Amino acid sequence: MTQPVRLIPLLCPHCQTPIPAQPDEVAWVCSNCQKGALLDEKKGAVPLNVFFHASLAAGKKGAPFWVTRGKVTFQERITYQGNEQKAMQDFWAESRLFAIPAFALPLEEAVVMGVKFLHQPIPMEMGKPAPFPPIVVPPQDVHPLAEFIVMSVEAERKDALKHLKFTLTLEPLQCWILPV
Ligand SMILES: [Zn+2]
């Protein structure tokens, strides 16, 4: 059975202004009060903090990301040849900052961007609101995407990875508009 699409108009949870939501969009910044809202399938739009990165003030183009710290625990690394176990354990000894693209992007490009951020994180400094493309990646998609990114980081090591078993634990997500 097909679900009817949003019978109730979405309202900003802060100021009740209607949100001109487009299909696929899952979060917004209200045009009236500038506060964030996230689509909840049951409750409608619920409050969401959206942070704008300080470097956007310099005229840089911004795009939305789900940002969080992630802790990886490895159970097994099996390779065809070589052994990068130590490099892997050193890299993941601390929890790492993840930035998962929240805008429309082919999976491969999203993973490449996520891997780049993992290797070169930027300080999370807040700035002023700036325009950004629609937020279409729901929070529940972030964990599998972050797992893809971990796999990609590990597959890039010098040994020939055959099999990897790990657990990824993510802290609560923050929505950031970051420079791209
Ligand atoms: Zn509002």
Measure 81 CA to ligand 1 centroid, in angstroms: 56
Measure 1 CA to ligand 1 centroid, in angstroms: 33
State the pLDDT at residue 164. Answer: 93
Measure 29 CA to ligand 1 centroid, in angstroms: 8
Task: Give the model confidence (pLDDT) of 84-136 as tens digits.
Answer: 999 999 999 999 999 999 999 999 999 999 999 999 999 999 999 999 999 99
Measure 159 CA to ligand 1 centroid, in angstroms: 51
Task: Give the model confidence (pLDDT) of 10-38 as tens digits.
Answer: 999 999 999 999 999 999 999 999 999 99
Measured from the Cβ of residue 87, the count of other Cβ atoms closer than 10 Å reads: 13
Half-sphere CA count of 121, side-chain side, radius 13 A: 14
Task: Give the model confidence (pLDDT) of 44-89 as tens digits.
Answer: 999 999 999 999 988 888 999 999 999 999 999 999 999 999 999 9
Half-sphere CA count of 135, side-chain side, radius 13 A: 26
Measure 30 CA to ligand 1 centroid, in angstroms: 4
Measured from the Cβ of residue 10, the count of other Cβ atoms closer than 10 Å reads: 17
